[in-house]
Amino acid sequence: MLLAILGLTSCGQTKQKLNLETVKALDLNRYLGSWYEIARFDHSFERGLVGTKANYSLQQNGMIKVVNSGYKNTLDGEYKEAIGKAKFASDNNPAHLRVSFFWIFYGDYYVLELDEQNYSYAMIGSSSDKYFWILSRTPQLPKATLDKLINKAKERGYDTTKIIFVPQKTN
């Protein structure tokens, strides 16, 4: 699912140099809530999933609860859900988190791009060039916004030919 793979990303080697500079500021309270997965790189943890979403909520212990969900093969397919946790990687960078779905194994979660005014879209990367996501608060992004994010991903060193677009329910 969207962040499940991040538990394994720290094990992979980056094939090309990525620009993983994050946004300068991240207001966690504004970032919490539901995000639709608009686009991603294909990987085994989400293969065949559509209608994928991530929901982030703050727990009493200061950790972030992560619930990733989606439907197998079609928007009417079997509902799947994975629950994980996230924490800030350091006090110096609120846009670099560590996410775990597997016991104590954490992977990097970099907020690379963000609509800082409305928090309506985000572009997420990890320490590996194999994992990449574009998220939105709505099931679709305007084409101009999506094109802008794809261009930024390419500028950062991502192979944008590997991007797949995720069908979403429009209700």
CB neighbours of residue 15 within 10 Å: 11
- How would you classify the pairing of strands 121-125 and 105-114? antiparallel
For residues 76 and 13, the model is more confident at 76
Q: What is the pLDDT of residue 171?
A: 63
Confidence class for position 34, pLDDT limits 50, 70, 90: very high
Q: What's the pLDDT tens digit per position in 54-84?
A: 999 999 998 999 999 999 999 999 999 999 9
pTM: 0.87
Q: How far is CA 88 from CA 143, 151, 158, 161, in A?
A: 32, 27, 24, 31
Interval 136-150 mean pLDDT: 98
Q: What's the CA gap between 34 and 12, in Å, rounded?
A: 28
* The pLDDT of residue 169: 87
- Which CATH architecture describes the domain 6-165? Beta Barrel (2.40)
Residue pair 38/48 in contact (Cβ under 8 Å)? The answer is no
Kindly tell me if the per-residue pLDDT of 5 is higher than 50: no
- Identify the three-state secondary structure at position 143: helix
State how far the Cα of 6 lies from the Cα of 108, in Å rounded to an integer. Answer: 6
pLDDT band at 2 (very low <50, low <70, confident <90, very high): very low
On average, the pLDDT of the chain sits at: 89
- Of 157, 159, 143, 169, give the one whose Cα is nearest residue 40: 159
